[in-house]
Amino acid sequence: MTHSILRNPYSRLCALLIASSGALLAQSSAVGHISGKVIRPDGTPFTQQLVVIETPRGNREIRTNEQGEFFIPNLVPGKVTVKVTAPDMLHFRSEILVLVNQTSNLSIRLRPQASTTVEVVDVGSSLPLSTTDQTQAKTGLTTNMEVIDNLPIPLTTGGDRVSSFLNLVPGTNTGYAYHGATTLSYHVDGVDTTDSVYGRGITLLNNDLVDQVQMLTGGVNAKYGRFDGGLVSVTTKSGTNVFEGSARFAISNPKWGGIGKTPEIYKALNMPIARPLDATTTIQSYTFMGPLIKDTLFFSLGYQTYSPQEKTAQTTSGLKFAGVPFVSSTGETRQDAKLDWLVNNDNRIYFQYNHSVQDSDNAYTNGGNPSSLSTLSGLTRTTRGYYSLGWTSQLASNLLLDVKYNDTNYKQDQRGSSGGNSVVSWLDVPDFTLFDNGTFASVVDERHQKVFSAGVTWFAKGLGEHQVDAGVQSYHFTDETGALDYPSGYLIHFNGFIPGATTPALGNRLLVPGNPALTQLISEQAVSGKATSRNQSVYLNDTWSLDKHVSVNLGLRYDNFSGTTVPENNTYSTHAFAPRLGVNYDVAGDKTRIFSFTAAEYQAQILQGSLANASVTKTPITRTYAYNGPAAPAGQGNGQQALNANGSINWAVWGNLAGATGVNNYMTSVDPIQNRTTFVDPNIKAPRTRELTLGYHQETANQAFSATLVRRWMDRFLDALWTGDGIAPGVAKILISNDPDGKRDYYGLELTYRNNANEHVSFGGNATWSRSLDNVNNQSLANNFGVGSQQGIPRDQLSPYGPSSGIDRSFIFHGDVTFKQGLGKGTFNASLLGSYYGKETYGYRFGTALTPSNLVAQGYAATYSRFFPELGPLHQPEYYTLDMQIGYTHAFTKKMNAFLKINIQNILNYMPNYMNTYYGTAYTGTYQPFAMFDGKGTVNVAPRTVSFDLGFRF
């Protein structure tokens, strides 16, 4: 006889953006676990009872111990069925959802066969969007791509749906600002793929291969470090015993959407409104997965591409002669592969490969208005990807091992302007127009990182239950770069064309002798170099459940950071300890009402991007020459005299202002090695974030609510500190170090609510009230300019404490409603997603002020940016968006269905763009600010867009 057990009623809460308390196990491979206890009708343990877990990859079996308990680790995330069969007892059967990095807990009370009771069994939440494992206090969410797929978050050429979805997390401002911080730790299937240049993930995944997404913004386990904003963990799909696959075509065309509305700006500048281009772009996505050996070896494959490439018709913008039409295009391919070998029930080995290529052809202009195709940017190719190898093992019934290695790469290969590497670039000074060649040279930027980690998870008992996680991690990152601004290494400035010129021929170009402002030759020699970052870490974390009411998380992490650069020979080495504490109190012991408290410290990595000003690899050796050639009766020469017949530089006419010519007789020479002014403090420390959170989470049969208070203190910001040691007048020594007075404070209140009204309708959302205040948003503006001397400039003029520019937004709201209804042989769905963004702080008014002469003599610059906090901060305007999806899925067979979805972004075509002028210049050290209309700045809101998703799954 089979007893059908009802699932946990809370599992029906398909929540959008529920930020609650939840656990993130230190087991960071992309797996989940199931634990539970089987008891008899009288409440005594059922020992040596067989428990069967039916998974798409075969069955897992285990017997209960003397306390009736069982634990099955390392399950691939997804739906599984738990079965328990005992003599004279009703059969137990329940389907649950295994979530990445979480443990689902079951309490199974078997009933005699005579019983007719239908029991609700607590199987732990299977929310598609939740973090509900209550053994630790966390803020964040877990969701899957099925949820994202049913929301109006389309796949576009400008980004993927995972990134778009993360911007909807409570406490997140647009642009990856999480609780006032900006760096993330980005993991794919348990592998750390975060780069050390900007603190972001550098991999691009096929969206249809993504299974689950977890985002944590507070109370993170001690295993994770090198971030201050949050942790993103993405799980990709794995093959099963059934062959599966999909084909998706995401089709868009700007012509289908709305026209950009910027009436204030366009009227003021007398510019016509741009009409959308009629250019259809299709993103193709394919997946295929299944078994190579049943129950043992599985594969998954993915391929995604633009087809055709996204193209834009344009015309060169040279002012003297007619423009030339050209096409700017971008394209991309993504390839993914995974092999998963279940050696036995205790051991799993997996291999993953990811590779993407992005091409951008003639997409940029730089250094002047392009006059021809040869002066455009040419082809830029960016390749990135990784391969990883992992091993998870159950060494004993209560001991797990997790070992993995990852090799991630990034390469940007800029082929340069198409004029050729031997053709000199020319710039018309009066019209600022380029001729013959562009200002894009062949430059390579390569990043390479290797990550190794080994960790164990030990389950023990003693004054409660413990999950102890311990391990080591090693991170090695290199960045190799070089720079050259012109394909040939030469740029000639010339004084326009002779009167009546009809072509840009060399003989029509005017050269002025002895006047570098109108005619000069710039010569460059590339400098290449290499920056290396290292991080070695040790962590220990104990998740301690005292009883069904109280659980505590205790963790400690140690990080050692070091780095070197060549040829500058900048070095640094530092270390830090990061403690973590979390406490949960479950009021009734049933996970329906939980209070949580966390206290944590995070050490962000020292980013190469923060040290870029101390690098010479993007500053070529530069020399300038005056024109000393013959002059026509009008006092000017022509371009034919500047070059030899073969197009090389004619050194007989180029030299210094004294009249000497030749390659060694230059006007100025800047060698970034010999003339270094910026250095790195060898005792630099990692940026630090300290955090307190207080939360409450409540769930009922069809509703969920949470509230979280967040307080953060951030310091040790890196800045370019001017020491003013008098290298030369107006040339100070600059030291990149921790700003001793720099700080940022974050205050936040996050509320979330979800209501599943019935099987057809669900709605909810989240609201965040927050403030972010700092005095570091004007970094690299010498914010300790003269501090410490009697003639120093007050800090509140250089970097005033106040609302954080680009981060401080007092109120954000996201809400959604979803409707599903069976229709014919398929399902109709419709959803709305709306967001409201309050005013965002843009900064304070500022102007250029004169530096006191005594500071200039010490080496400080002659001018500085002077801020005026007494005038109050400026704000970007508030705005809102409303998006909609309508879709239908039709089942052709039991194993195949087709889908069609229409996504409309910014239905109302609302674009709050206004004129905003507030810049000024203080030539005499005094400043009269312009009139300012606060909240009237420009906001980058795209016009209405329409896209179609269609395809099939089997």
User: How many C-beta neighbours within 10 Å does residue 822 have?
Assistant: 10
pLDDT per residue over 859-916, tens digit each?
Answer: 777 777 788 888 788 787 888 999 999 999 999 888 899 999 999 999 988 876 554 4
Q: What is the DSSP code string of 814-868?
A: EEEEEEEEEETTEEEEEEEEEEEE--EEEE--EEEEEPPHHHHHHT--SEEEEE-
User: How many C-beta neighbours within 10 Å does residue 415 have?
Assistant: 16
* Res 131: pLDDT: 41
| pLDDT exceeds 70 at position 184 | yes
Class of domain 2-109: mainly beta
pLDDT per residue over 489-517, tens digit each?
Answer: 999 999 999 998 999 999 999 999 999 99
* Res 845: pLDDT: 77
**438 vs 734, residue with greater confidence:** 438
| pLDDT exceeds 70 at position 925 | no
pLDDT per residue over 13-36, tens digit each?
Answer: 333 333 333 333 333 456 778 888
* Res 98: pLDDT: 81
Using only C-alpha atoms, the chain has a radius of gyration, in whole angstroms, of 31
109-132 burial, b for 16+ CB within 10 Å, e for fewer?
Answer: ebbeeeeeeeeebebbbbbbbbbb
- Let me know if 339 is exposed, middle or buried by CB neighbors in 10 A (0-12, 13-18, 19+): middle
Question: In degrees to the nearest 10, what's the CA dihedral of 319, 324, 325, 327?
Answer: -90
Work out the average pLDDT over 749-773. Answer: 93
| Band of pLDDT at residue 775, cut at 50, 70 and 90 | confident
pLDDT per residue over 202-219, tens digit each?
Answer: 788 998 999 888 888 888
Judged by DSSP in three states, 208 sits in helix
| Band of pLDDT at residue 42, cut at 50, 70 and 90 | confident
Contacts of 106 (CB under 8 A, 6+ apart): 34, 35, 36, 37, 82, 94, 96, 121, 122, 123, 124
Rounded CA-CA distance 672/678 in Å is 10
Q: Classify the C-alpha dihedral 265-268-274-275 as positive or negative.
A: positive
CB 904 within 8 A of CB 946: yes
| Band of pLDDT at residue 73, cut at 50, 70 and 90 | confident
Q: What is the DSSP code string of 626-658?
A: EE-S---TTS-EEGGGTB-TTSSB-TTSEE-TT
Domain boundaries, the chain: 2-109
Q: Classify the C-alpha dihedral 503-509-510-516 as positive or negative.
A: positive
Question: Minimal CA–CA distance to 840: which of 813, 870, 814, 878?
Answer: 878
Rounded CA-CA distance 245/303 in Å is 11
Q: What percent of the chain has pLDDT over 70?
A: 85
Residue 814, amino acid: H
Contacts of 20 (CB under 8 A, 6+ apart): 130, 131, 132, 138, 139, 141, 695, 697, 704, 706, 752
User: Which run of H or of E encompasses 266?
Assistant: helix 263-269
CB 30 within 8 A of CB 190: yes
Length, in residues, of the chain: 954
* Res 913: pLDDT: 58
Question: Minimal CA–CA distance to 216: which of 144, 140, 133?
Answer: 140
- Tokens matching residue 390: 């992992």
Counting DSSP H helices and E strands in the chain, the numbers are 5, 57
**In the chain, what are the helix, strand and coil shares in percent, each to the nearest 5?**
5, 50, 45
Work out the average pLDDT over 720-738. Answer: 75
User: Which run of H or of E encompasses 425?
Assistant: strand 425-428
pLDDT per residue over 622-656, tens digit each?
Answer: 999 999 988 766 678 999 999 999 999 999 999 99
Rounded CA-CA distance 634/657 in Å is 20
Residue where the block lists tokens 């005792």: 683
- Tokens matching residue 743: 């700080």
* Res 774: pLDDT: 92
CB 529 within 8 A of CB 617: yes
Question: Minimal CA–CA distance to 758: which of 130, 18, 14, 149?
Answer: 14
- Let me know if 62 is exposed, middle or buried by CB neighbors in 10 A (0-12, 13-18, 19+): middle
Work out the average pLDDT over 386-402. Answer: 91
* Res 518: pLDDT: 95
User: How many C-beta neighbours within 10 Å does residue 171 have?
Assistant: 25
Instruction: Indicate the range of 78-87, 457-466, 533-542, 741-750 predicted with least confidence.
Output: 78-87
Rounded CA-CA distance 254/277 in Å is 6
Q: What percent of the chain has pLDDT over 90?
A: 40
pLDDT per residue over 263-306, tens digit each?
Answer: 554 555 555 555 556 778 899 999 999 999 999 999 999 999 98
Q: pTM for this one?
A: 0.84
DSSP 798: H
